[in-house]
Amino acid sequence: MRFHDYPVAANVSLLFSELPYMERFAAAAAAGFTEVETWWPFADAVPEVAETTRLVEAIDTAGVRLTGLNFFAGDMPAGERGIATLPDRADELRANAAVVVDIARRTGCRSFNLLYGRLDADADAGRVAANRAISLAADSVAVVDGTVLLEPLAASLNGTYPLHTVEDVLDVIDGPLGGREDVRVLFDLFHLGSNGVDTTAAATKYADRIGHVQLADAPGRGEPGSGELAVRETVAALRAAGYSGLLAAEYVPSRATTETLAWAEQ
């Protein structure tokens, strides 16, 4: 699957949701995807070994390549958006990082999304904790030559999560993280567009700082073409500015996933 001649990965946490999770890798392959990515698929930061083995086997059996994996992000349905800002959960994230690295070694995955977390109560302590957590995550995945991705999220949907623009992420990377090259921007068109960001202009300006791109339209977070965002123009701007990474389809299909793929080239 390609778009503007970029390879496109299927985010199986949202795509093919009409199927049980472990069946989505094979469904992605059958639909023409050769790459997949996923949010953290387990309830706990440190699942049983049998659970991670089942994940790896599902990927291998489908014949697809895992190109993106989220760190554990806490209880997302309850409103958590990462645990990096929580000082009392640093050990939990450290343990999760070890599992992430194990999966990376077994699959070849090299890009890892770490949700920053919400800033509640003591915001200053939360920022300090997040800086330490991001550094720990980057140090952990360095053993597989991995990259940590930091993602702006839609302000209206994610409570006190503080990263809303590319500039917000770069303030973290270039400030307390000292400009680490192994921490990069996750450029999600839905989240940025929902925050009023001109995604085409941002793509042109920051292409060299972007580690990964995710596609969904807004409003609605549906497939490209279902909303009002300049998706094609933004990807064209990325191409013109020299972005050479992957794209990922990370949208909520408006109908059966295979019926929403007309925007991509098979």
* Res 121: pLDDT: 85
pLDDT value, residue 265:
84
Active site residue 35: no
What class does CATH assign to 2-260?
Answer: alpha beta
Catalytic site residue from 23, 151, 223, 265: 151
Is 228 designated active site? no
- Kindly list the distances between the CA atom of residue 81 and the CA atoms of 12, 112, 144, 155, 231, in Å, as whole numbers in the listed order: 19, 15, 25, 12, 25
Whole-prediction pTM value?
0.97
The candidate with the shortest Cα–Cα distance to 168, out of 122, 119, 125, is 119
DSSP string, 152-182: ---GGGSTT----SHHHHHHHHHTTT-S-TT
pLDDT at position 266 is 67
Query: How far is the CA of 192 from the CAs of 75, 138, 153, 243, in angstroms?
Result: 23, 24, 7, 17
Do 135 and 176 form a contact (C-beta atoms < 8 A)?
no
Per the residue annotation, which of 35, 80, 223, 250 is the catalytic one? 250
Residues 6+ apart with CB under 8 A from 30: none
Residues with Cβ < 8 Å from 58, sequence gap 6 or more?
Answer: 22, 23, 25, 26
Domain residue spans of the chain: 2-260
pLDDT value of residue 220: 97
In contact, 156 and 113? CB cutoff 8 Å: no
Q: Which two tokens stand for residue 36?
A: 């997949």
pLDDT in tens, the chain (266 residues): 999 999 999 999 999 999 999 999 999 999 999 999 999 999 999 999 999 999 999 999 999 999 999 999 999 999 999 999 999 999 999 999 999 999 999 999 999 999 999 998 899 999 999 999 999 999 999 999 999 999 999 999 999 999 999 999 999 999 999 999 999 999 999 999 999 999 999 999 999 999 999 999 999 999 999 999 999 999 999 999 999 999 999 999 999 999 999 999 86
- Whole-angstrom distance, CA of residue 35 vs CA of residue 42: 20
Q: How does 94-106 read in b/e, with b if 16+ C-beta sit within 10 Å?
A: eebbebbbebbeb
